[in-house]
Each structure stands twice: as C-alpha cells, then as structure tokens.
A and B are shown apart, each in its own frame.
Chain A
Amino acid sequence: SQKIEQNSEALNIQEGKTATLTCNYTNYSPAYLQWYRQDPGRGPVFLLLIRENEKEKRKERLKVTFDTTLKQSLFHITASQPADSATYLCALDGSGGYNKLIFGAGTRLAVHP
C-alpha cells in the first residue's frame, strides 16, 4: 500500500544547529514533493517544492533534497532559531488523482535557546 512516513518523535535541537527532517515514501512515483510548516492552532503554510528531476532546492536557510531512488526527501534548516519551532509536513502529489496532495503526519521540531 502507499505510505508516507515522517518521524513521529519530536526533534529537539540547540539554537544555531542544523535541523534535518526526513520524509520517506513507498509505492509512489511523485512528480514533485512539497514541505509545509504548521504552527499550533493554524493551517499549514507552504515552504518549498522540489520536482523529481531536481536533486536539491534552497530558500534562505532552508534546503530540500529529493532522492527518487531512495524514495526519500530531507529537509534542512541551517542556523536554527527558536522561531523555527513548529511541525513540518511533507506532501507529494498522489497517484491517480487530479493534483491531489498526500500528506505525511508531520514531525515536530523544537529549537531550544
């Protein structure tokens, strides 16, 4: 069956370090993958999109990689700050549907001063 997996345990890191979040998927061949940020009590907010023919994408302190052989995306936040604390969701375009995104459950990141 199709599955998207993100680490359900919270990731705790010290301010200034690089946070790395993982998104693994099985039985999909997505044309693209996206990352969203969700703060408590709010809707998700789009951060980055990476296509299947792109290995890496950057935006300010954010970097996303996409390995279609490993079926994995890594999301990095460099020089992390307490304000980066949130839940991060990965999403990929679901097969057999019209632009329907399939979301992972998310990983909570806590950056400590």
Chain B
Amino acid sequence: NAGVTQTPKFQVLKTGQSMTLQCAQDMNHNSMYWYRQDPGMGLRLIYYSASEGTTDKGEVPNGYNVSRLNKREFSLRLESAAPSQTSVYFCASSDQRGGQDTQYFGPGTRLTVL
C-alpha cells in the first residue's frame, strides 16, 4: 500500500499562473481533504470531500477549486496563483468508520508563488 500520494513534491509558479495538485489514496477511504500549512499556524482545511461525488468548503477555500474524480483521487486547482498561496499543501484521507476520524496524510507539495 502506498497510502496517500501527492504530485508534484515541489512547484514554483509566477503570479497568475494556474496549476493542479494531484492526490490519490489506495486505502478505499470515503473522505478526502486538502489542507495548507503555513509557519506558526496549524493545518487549515481548504476543501473536503465526504464521499465520492461531494465536495464542501473548509476554512480557507477562496482561490481554490477541487474535483473528486473518483473514490481514489481528489485534486486541488489554483486558477490564478497569488503570492499569498505560497504554502505547503497536504492531502489526507479517512475512513469515518466508528466515529473515528483518523486522517492519513500524504507527503505534501511545497508551492512557491513569485
């Protein structure tokens, strides 16, 4: 099992460029999440998908869009990147069984917007 995988690992963009961050999980989990992590701040939820075919906004959704392509894959798109979106992005998944929301995280994507 690879767990949660993310691509790319690193990316540098210029202001206004667009890109899609890819995430896939092989644990047959129903729920998937996108977070951003900035220095001195906790992980902040951008979007989540409780199950295939559904997506909902988290705490900081502005400037992002998501697609739950199938049960395995959940992508995050930046349509017009801004320097404020420089961050480390983590994808996570969880199974939701028994009320335990243990989340499994990918290795992260380090994004710099110039």
Contacts and interface: CB of A to CB of B under 8 A. Distances in A.
Given A49-B100, A99-B96, A104-B42, A43 B50 contact: no
Contacts of B96: 99
B102 A106 contact: no
Q: By CB atoms of chain B within 10 A, which of A43, A44, A104 has the most?
A: A43
Contacts of A106: 42
Interface size class of B (residues with CB under 8 A): 20 to 34
B40 A101 contact: no
B48 A100 contact: yes
A31 B112 CA distance: 37
Interface residues of A, number: 24
B43 interface: yes
Contacts, number: 58
A88 interface: no
Given A46-B103, A98-B50, A98-B56, A103 B108 contact: no
A105 B50 contact: no
Given A43-B105, A98-B56, A105 B48 contact: no
B108 A43 contact: yes
Nearest to A47: B102
